[in-house]
Amino acid sequence: MKKLIKKTSLIKFTKILIFVSVLRQNIIKAEDNAFNYGGKLKEEMFYAKNSNLLNNDNKTDKIWYMQHTLDFDLSRAQGKEKYGYDALQFKLNVRNKARWGNPLSVARTTRANIKINDYVTQDHQHFIAKLIFWVREVYLRFSINALLNSEAESKHYITLGAFPFQLGRGIALGDAFAANPGILGFYSEDAIDQYAFGAQLSGDLIADKLVYDAYIGILSNNGTSFRETSNKIRAQYLEQCDFRSGRLDPYRGPIEVNYVVAGRLKWKIFDSPILGKLEVEPYAMYNRDPEQRVEYNADANSKLGTSGMAVEWYGGRFEGGFDTAFNFGRQQVVSLDRNQVNLINDEGIATYVYTHVLDGEPNNKNSKKAKQTSKVKSVVNTSSQNISDNGKQISTDPLLYNANDRFREGYKNKYRGWMVVADAGYWFVPGVFQGAVTAGVASGDQNPNN
């Protein structure tokens, strides 16, 4: 058994941020005939000033805390004696993490709503105030060559589970599925608290020269139970909606999965003592998200494609490279009825009111949100619901009007973004001290959904 203790101190000062990190890291590694196992404990202290509002005019913009990150690793590899390489690999990483003195920082639930009659409450969540362990990474990797008893020089593998995968520098597609980056200016691989589940096919096209990776990851799946597939998430879609009528078919339905498909090639163009080493990585990805939020849950869907290339060069003490990518695709925002039911305090009485149906003309400042009664509900539900009905009268008895912005017309946003990031570095003391510079530029525009 070996024990390695490493101490590092880092102090960074800027005009808008003071960042202090004191790190004590204990790494224990052990190996026996069956498994490799190890652990790592990282203890940190942070103090930040002006990290939120970026000025000195707010005295409360200061935070201080201490936290720890505890990881345990368990791995196993088999097949080297028989095949000459690891034909089967298994890895498990579990984590415990918390900010000292704040039990609410351990873990929190996903956001959920409560429905009271026709009123749906705002999102809320709860906290797990006990120290717990969770699975950060777990996967099984096996050789196709060994499975087929092939002796080909090129090796091919399949990986299944939750594991890191990224394209290029991780800008177009990174491996941070569940991340907690902390305060401004701080980020490390340890900030990733969980990797996405997926599958990867990888191998050699030319041994030690050209390798490939094909990856599919599941980012979210809302069709794992009858409760999810029968949830009426599209009840506010208009009948003339581009791809589904919410009033006739409000249910989510099966196989509504947010997934990403990606592929890359890693080509080692040359590797020599004189020229150094040059590696090129062209890549492409596609992401389909069927339930995005613009104003309401699942009121938009997205199809995003990205193609790009990363280049890395290493030559003695110098190294550098760049990553560039281009987006294409579209976001479709559906035609929508914004009207919902809200719960208000009307002179001490809990009262249900509509958000976009009024008891008078919409331009009359004395008009109020209509109260939901059985009669009003029947009229509203059977009334015409089209974009052209904005601001129009619904009925005279009872007197009801649509708000001017009750119905939203659907539209599409096209993805046309691009980015370039380049960096270069020089090792003044190889492996100890390096100076580096990074520059980047990206396209941008105002939020088209504002």
For every residue of 182-234, DSSP letters joined together read -STT---GGGEEEPPEEEEEEEEEETTTEEEEEEEEEEEE--SSHHHHT--TT
| Dihedral, 384, 385, 391, 395 alpha carbons, nearest 10 | 30
Using an 8 Å Cβ cutoff, are 181 and 192 in contact?
Answer: no
Domain that holds residue 375: 336-408
Question: For the range 204-207, what are the long-range contacts, defined as Cβ-Cβ under 8 Å and sequence gap of 24 or more?
Answer: 204/153, 204/154, 204/155, 204/156, 205/154, 205/265, 206/154, 207/153, 207/154
Using an 8 Å Cβ cutoff, are 166 and 189 in contact?
Answer: no
Residue for token digits 């294409």? 328
For every residue of 55-114, DSSP letters joined together read SSS-TT-EEEEEEEEEEEEEEEEE-HHHHSS--EEEEEEEEEEEETTBGGGSEEPPPB--
Q: At which of 96, 116, 136 does a domain end?
A: 116
Residue 363 lies in a domain: yes
Residue 170 lies in a domain: no
Q: What is the pLDDT of residue 31?
A: 53
Q: Which two tokens stand for residue 290?
A: 């069927």
Residue 290 lies in a domain: no
Residue 300 lies in a domain: no
Task: Find the radius of gyration of the CA atoms of the chain.
Answer: 28
276-292 and 369-371 beta bridge pairing:
unpaired
Q: At which of 116, 150, 170 does a domain end?
A: 116
Dihedral sign, Cα of residue 193, residue 199, residue 203, residue 205 = negative
Dihedral sign, Cα of residue 176, residue 178, residue 183, residue 187 = negative
Phi, psi (degrees; rounded to nearest 5) at 240? -90, 20
Q: What is the pLDDT of residue 106?
A: 78
CA–CA distance, 95 with 41 (Å, rounded to integer): 10
Mean pLDDT by 10-residue block, N- to C-terminus, for the chain (450 residues)?
34 37 48 76 86 84 88 92 90 92 79 71 76 93 92 92 94 82 59 91 92 96 90 82 67 90 96 91 97 91 96 93 96 92 86 93 92 92 90 93 93 94 94 93 88
* SS3 at position 392: coil
CA distances from 446 to 294, 449, 450 (A): 14, 9, 8
Q: Which two tokens stand for residue 129?
A: 């105030």
Q: What is the pLDDT of residue 47?
A: 85
CA distances from 365 to 340, 351, 369, 417 (A): 21, 21, 11, 43
Using an 8 Å Cβ cutoff, are 265 and 211 in contact?
Answer: yes
Most distant pair of Cα atoms in the chain: their distance: 89
Q: At which of 100, 116, 132 does a domain end?
A: 116
The domain tally of the chain equals 2
Residue 204 CA, chain-centre distance (Å), reads 30
CA–CA distance, 268 with 167 (Å, rounded to integer): 16
Buried b (16+ CB within 10 A) or exposed e, 243-263: eeebeeebebbeebbbbbebb
Residue 213 lies in a domain: no
CA–CA distance, 208 with 97 (Å, rounded to integer): 39
Buried b (16+ CB within 10 A) or exposed e, 4-26: eeeeeeeeeeeebbbbebeeebe
CA–CA distance, 426 with 198 (Å, rounded to integer): 37
Q: 238: burial class by Cβ within 10 Å (0-12, 13-18, 19+)?
A: buried
